[in-house]
Structure 1
Amino acid sequence: MGTPGAGMAADIAEQPGVYAGLLEPAHAGPIAAVAAAIIERRPRHVVFTARGTSDHAALFGAYLAEIRLGLPAGLASPSAVTVFGARPDLSDALVVGVSQSGGSPDLTEVVRVARETGALTLAITNNPDSALAGAAELHIDVAAGHERAVAATKTYTAELLALLMLVEGIRGGTGAVPADELRALAALPALAETALADPTAPDLAPRYRFAARLVTTGRGYAYPTAREAALKLMETSYLPALSFSGADLLHGPLALADPDVPVLAVVGAGPGGAAMREVLTRLDERRADVVTVGPADVPGATARLAVPEVDERFAPLLDILPLQRLALALALARGEDPDAPRGLAKVTSTL
């Protein structure tokens, strides 16, 4: 038996290197080739299919597709195909299966059916030999390497970066990420190192050791981060964590917030962060224990998990890092081993 949490800690620490590797021509070139193939087919909308952590990466992809490409995007319900036998007409769609392992049969079946009905299909995985990669017409390898812990960390952020590079390549019109965007992306490995060096996340863990539940929230590009943070806390610490869009939080669930229910709020430097102002004001009125994630202090917040200021499109690649470290430290503070959460396997097969 190894030291509890050592695998997850190593996976988290490798993320700056994973970013740098994915930006190298050996990996950026194949992503550009996929983007060029998509440009040629001119899909009219994008449908993502994913589960678990990858579902949050897919949600990020949906925001990118709608905001950056102007294409309607959404997440498929795999059970419509696998349980109910639906065969939706996806002839004008780009259907993207996102999965670290590429081993879940339901995602493979959705992609197979989509391809049969005329969709352009793409698999984004950490396993080019997987069933999902084989079922799709196109494939992107996120090249994160072996992940030691069961709970996904570096494969998640690699999916985010691959999706970002893909979308920016499509938007640029040639498949290759435009030079100005590439320069901005090239700064991410060093910025990730900075975010990971901040000691605030592990220092906060003892504060929430005995929390009964927790709320995470964000808007726009930050919403997938809020959802992924909640999942990591539930997977590793078995702490019930409810995730809401900042807008949805105001539609009733705000009543959950009080001094005994910690709130993790992702507040970036852009339109999504600005849209969180009313949410933060309302949380302050309820005297909620709010910890923010972002580049600037927020009045009334208990603490801030600091990350460098970047364009909001890039922020999910940094914002999740201190939240992963918080999940790791909190699991250890509660006497759990985040490398091997009970009831969780690295590959989950669902239909």
Structure 2
Amino acid sequence: MAAEIAEQPSAWRNLLAARAACVEIGELIASRAPRFVQFVARGTSDHAALYAKYLVEIGLQIPAGMVSPSAVTVYGARPDLRDVLLIAVSQSGGSPDLVKSVEVGRAQGALTLAITNNESSALSDAAELHVDVMAGAEQSVAATKSYTSELLALYLVIAAWQGVDTSAVDALPDLGDEVLGSDGALAAAAQKYRYAQRLLTTGRGYSYPTAREAALKLMETSYLTAQAFSGADLLHGPLATVDPQVPVLAVVPGGRGGDAMAPVIARLVERGADIFGVGAASAVAELTGGVAIPDAPEELSPLLEIIPFQLMALHLSLARGENPDSPRGLRKVTETL
């Protein structure tokens, strides 16, 4: 897991060097002018899909939604998907329910795109279009480099569809290397939280998927209860569960999403919460602790802001005497139907 976290900037460089494939697919999608986008994914890839949902709804102003695979695989639904783009996101491309969802979607008229880290997978074969995120083999059960490579691939495809300038992505690998330098601070933070049994993660906008992915990484490597809430949802009841003994991991980047977290942070402070933040230096400085990340466009910040949480999950697992590479009872591919 440590090696794969560290490989992320190199993986991004590989994908950027081959970005022409993403651009070509994005332009093809634009020519087809879909009226709606559906995403189907599981686990970590579901969080990448949620990030892409924000890209579509904000950048393209096209409605987008998340598929419930069981509607197709268990209940036999066959919705009319003409003029719909169905995007399946999967590290392995081997989950039967995702494959079935794409097969049915294609038969029902959808333009189908698979985003995987396996160009010869069943999912990539089932879809009309395919993008290989080129992250390289991932041995740890906890997905790290495949997640951020999925984010980057989705960004490149959707940006090409939108027809916007993507030059800002060229700085990402170097910025990622800079974020990896916070490893020592994250190791220290893990020692502080090693006895925690429950914590919350929160963020808004493009950073809400980061909060969800951070919670998943902590649960699957350290076996603690981690609940993820959007900042807005946190104020609608779950705030009552917060006290000084329940750490809160907050994503507070620059931009509108980070600004929208300000009233959330204020309410958490009122409750005496221990808040560890990842994001803009000015926001992190006001919290109990945290790690500042370099400035980047808000829609690209999720690639950087997840790295400190990956490192925290790694160090927290080790501090608790666990093996982050092989979490108990988990496998790399979950075969649901």
TM-score range, shorter chain: over 0.9
In the other structure, the counterpart of 1:284 is 269
Q: CA deviation at 1:297?
A: 3.4
Identical-residue share of aligned pairs (%): 60
Output the CA distance in 2 between the equivalents of 1:272 and 1:244.
Answer: 14
- C-alpha distance after superposition, 1:66-93 (max 9, x if no partner): 0011110110000000000001111111
- C-alpha distance after superposition, 1:276-321 (max 9, x if no partner): 0110000000000001110223364111222101111010000000
Output the CA distance in 2 between the equivalents of 1:343 and 1:75.
Answer: 27
In the other structure, the counterpart of 1:269 is 254
| Alignment RMSD (CA, Å) | 0.9
User: Taking structure 1 as the reference length, what is the TM-score of the superposition?
Assistant: 0.94
What amino acid maps onto 1:344 in structure 2?
Answer: L
In the other structure, the counterpart of 2:16 is 23
> Unpaired segments of 5 or more residues in structure 1?
1-7
In the other structure, the counterpart of 2:175 is 191
Residue 332 of structure 2 is aligned to residue 339 of structure 1: no
In the other structure, the counterpart of 1:310 is 296
In the other structure, the counterpart of 1:9 is 2
Map of 1:167-178 to 2, 5 A cutoff?
167-172=158-163, 178=165
Residue 213 of structure 2 is aligned to residue 224 of structure 1: no
Give secondary structure in 2 for the equivalent of 1:106. helix
Output the CA distance in 2 between the equivalents of 1:313 and 1:117.
Answer: 32
Give secondary structure in 2 for the equivalent of 1:187. helix
User: Taking structure 2 as the reference length, what is the TM-score of the superposition?
Assistant: 0.98
In the other structure, the counterpart of 1:161 is 152
Output the CA distance in 2 between the equivalents of 1:141 and 1:197.
Answer: 28
Output the CA distance in 2 between the equivalents of 1:13 and 1:212.
Answer: 27
What amino acid maps onto 2:288 in structure 1?
Answer: T
Q: CA deviation at 1:203?
A: 1.3
Q: CA deviation at 1:264?
A: 0.4
In the other structure, the counterpart of 2:307 is 321
- C-alpha distance after superposition, 1:143-181 (max 9, x if no partner): 000112111000000000001111111111xxxx63xx2
Map of 1:14-53 to 2, 5 A cutoff?
14-24=7-17, 27-53=18-44
Which residue of 101, 125, 132 maps to 2:92? 101
- C-alpha distance after superposition, 1:20-65 (max 9, x if no partner): 11100xx211111111210111100100000000000000000000
> Unpaired segments of 5 or more residues in structure 2?
none
Residue 240 of structure 2 is aligned to residue 247 of structure 1: no
Map of 1:64-143 to 2, 5 A cutoff?
64-143=55-134
Output the CA distance in 2 between the equivalents of 1:149 and 1:276.
Answer: 32
In the other structure, the counterpart of 2:197 is 212
